Amino acid sequence: MDYNYRDIVKEPPTTAELFELAGMGGIRVNGLLNERSTNYKKAKINAKDLSEREVAEFLAANPKAMYRPLLTDGKKLVVGFVPEQIEGFLKG
């Protein structure tokens, strides 16, 4: 299987890319935010108080606060390490 790896620390997603990814996953941008991440906790913010745009801007500036991995084929998205979902995604 061919794939492209992207290091989100070296090449963070833009806010537009985050909205596009969330759309592929059928989720809101907030669904990409890992509230247990160290970066999120250090920021001392409450995601519930932020708009979708503000969450996207936070994630673009703090990509380690996202669930990882993010797997996409350009049409659908798997968020986080959920073996069953990853296996289903890879099988097509």
Is the pLDDT at 3 greater than 90? The verdict is: no
Do the domain assignments include residue 46?
Answer: yes
Where does residue 82 fall: left (phi above 0), alpha (psi -120 to 50 degrees), or beta otherwise? beta
- Split into its structural domains, the chain has a count of 1
Q: What is the pLDDT of residue 9?
A: 93
Residue 59 belongs to domain spanning: 15-91
| CATH at 45 | 3.40.30.10
- Contact status, residue 4 vs residue 36, Cβ threshold 8 Å: no
Please, where are the H alpha helices in 1-92? 15-25, 38-43, 52-61, 83-91
Do the domain assignments include residue 81?
Answer: yes
In this predicted model, what pLDDT tens digit does every residue of 17-64 receive, in sequence order? 999 999 999 999 999 999 999 999 999 999 999 999 999 999 999 999
